Copies of this chain bind each other. A is one copy, B any other.
Amino acid sequence: MTGIGFSLVAEDGAARRGLLETAHGAVETPCFMPVGTAATVKGMTPDQVAATGAQMVLANTYHLMLRPGNARVARLGGLHRFMGWPGPILTDSGGFQVMSLDELATVTDHGVVFRSHIDGSRHELTPERAVEVQHNLDSNIAMVLDECTRYPVSRDRAADAMRRSMLWARRCKAAFRSRDGYGLFGIVQGGVEPDLRAESAAELQAIGFDGYAVGGLAVGEGADQMFRVLDVTVPLLPADRPRYLMGVGKPSDLVNAVARGIDMFDCVLPTRSGRTGQAFTRGGAVNIRNARYAEDPRPLDDSLDCPASCDYSRAYLHHLVRSGEILGAVLLTWHNLAYYQRLMSDMRTAIAEGRFASFAAAFAEAQAAGDIEPV
């Protein structure tokens, strides 16, 4: 194959089950990619990440280009070897974090000039540079550089950012070096404006990418607006290529987006909230710091095939988190990743068995009935 392979193995309504193939192995979709910002899924060994069922991880170009540097990663054999993750890796372009971490970043059609959050040094990210950095990292799926606006944003500003993103997408495609098992994804922008989203989706397909992401969501617009954008955007994407909803989301968001035909997700929620004491369960999210868990001998969820979920009482996790112990962050992150991966696995099975709608309804009911605080 040139690029990355993608085949649908089952469809159920708009929901799809598929297989993504890369130079570093295959990924069953719908999939959730744990976020490994600085070449580590925070607190987890790669073995632990793999044991949760994760098949692909995401790493952040912005962080890695600054530290340890993409050239250094390349000299050390690429990101897979560097971080001990032999499976597929997707990298973002760096653009989103450049613009969110440096409010004074200067964006022109040429690219973005920004200051490092580590030492204040000046750097430039252009479409060509974003592709080169991701190539040096040996990323299996690279993302185009785009300009992502926060919500709310004027229609004119959203249109400008989308058109600049399309200009950059074209330059990224031109700069990308095709190889078997490696791909480049375009990113649909356009804020909450259906016509801008449609223009962006058409423009990207005219350029041609290995997959298509929906960007610029989960930036403050709320779930209702997010799903309205998906409702008008996803049907405009080619059916035979993977669809990736960037930076999303809560468990219920994953179910509702899979229902609309999304294949890929990433989000810091299971890892970040694990580090602050939040655990995901069938009945909703648990804040393990809550005094109600101080003597609760039950594990988080012994139906999960994960030591962090089965082998420790809520009372012990409560103690660890209250005491600021590293192991508390480790175990809750581990559990949350296992919970997310089982949710994806359950959705894949439901799609294959043609019962996704009833699965989604049962999921929503369990979350609503939870005796614990909702997310």
Any chain B CB within 8 A of the CB of A325? yes
The docked-state distance in angstroms from the alpha carbon of A77 to that of B297 is 9
Given A45-B307, A72-B294, A322-B67, A313 and B82 contact (CB-CB distance below 8 Å) = yes
Any chain B CB within 8 A of the CB of A40? yes
A306 to B: closest C-beta gap in Å: 12
Given A313-B82, A316-B84, A319-B39, A68 and B327 contact (CB-CB distance below 8 Å) = no
Interface pair B43/A313, CB less than 8 Å apart: no
- Chain B residue with Cβ nearest A297: B76
Any chain B CB within 8 A of the CB of A312? yes
Interface pair A68/B326, CB less than 8 Å apart: no
A100 to B: closest C-beta gap in Å: 18
Interface pair A323/B38, CB less than 8 Å apart: yes
Q: Which residues of B contact A38 (CB under 8 A)?
A: 319-320, 323, 325
The docked-state distance in angstroms from the alpha carbon of A38 to that of B153 is 49
Interface pair B319/A67, CB less than 8 Å apart: yes
Any chain B CB within 8 A of the CB of A44? yes
- Chain B residue with Cβ nearest A320: B40
A295 in complex: contacting residue of B39, B76, B297, B312, CB < 8 Å: B76
Q: Which residues of B contact A40 (CB under 8 A)?
A: 320, 325, 327
The docked-state distance in angstroms from the alpha carbon of A163 to that of B293 is 44
Q: Which residues of B contact A316 (CB under 8 A)?
A: 39, 76, 82-84
Interface range, A side: 35 or more
Given A84-B312, A315-B82, A323 and B67 contact (CB-CB distance below 8 Å) = yes
Any chain B CB within 8 A of the CB of A47? yes
A89 to B: closest C-beta gap in Å: 15
- Chain B residue with Cβ nearest A67: B323
Any chain B CB within 8 A of the CB of A75? yes
Any chain B CB within 8 A of the CB of A329? yes
Interface pair A326/B39, CB less than 8 Å apart: no
Any chain B CB within 8 A of the CB of A330? yes
The docked-state distance in angstroms from the alpha carbon of A325 to that of B67 is 12
Any chain B CB within 8 A of the CB of A42? yes
A19 to B: closest C-beta gap in Å: 28
Given A322-B67, A326-B330, A330-B330, A315 and B76 contact (CB-CB distance below 8 Å) = yes
The docked-state distance in angstroms from the alpha carbon of A312 to that of B81 is 9
- Chain B residue with Cβ nearest A66: B323
Q: Which residues of B contact A318 (CB under 8 A)?
A: 68
Any chain B CB within 8 A of the CB of A311? yes
A50 to B: closest C-beta gap in Å: 13
The docked-state distance in angstroms from the alpha carbon of A211 to that of B307 is 36
The docked-state distance in angstroms from the alpha carbon of A329 to that of B329 is 13
Interface pair A313/B76, CB less than 8 Å apart: yes
Q: Which residues between 288 and 328 of chain A lie within 8 Å of chain B, taking CB atoms?
A: 294-295, 297, 307, 311-313, 315-316, 318-320, 322-323, 325-327
Interface pair B295/A72, CB less than 8 Å apart: yes
Interface pair B82/A326, CB less than 8 Å apart: no
Q: Which residues of B contact A297 (CB under 8 A)?
A: 76-77
The docked-state distance in angstroms from the alpha carbon of A270 to that of B330 is 19
A45-B327, A72-B315 are known; give 13 further A-B pairs, CB within 8 A. Answer: A40-B325, A40-B327, A43-B326, A43-B327, A43-B330, A44-B327, A68-B319, A75-B295, A76-B315, A82-B316, A82-B319, A83-B316, A84-B316
5 A-B residue pairs with CB within 8 Å? A44-B327, A45-B331, A68-B315, A76-B313, A84-B311
Closest A-B pairs by Cβ, 10 of them: A43-B326, A68-B319, A40-B327, A38-B323, A40-B325, A76-B315, A42-B326, A82-B316, A84-B311, A84-B312
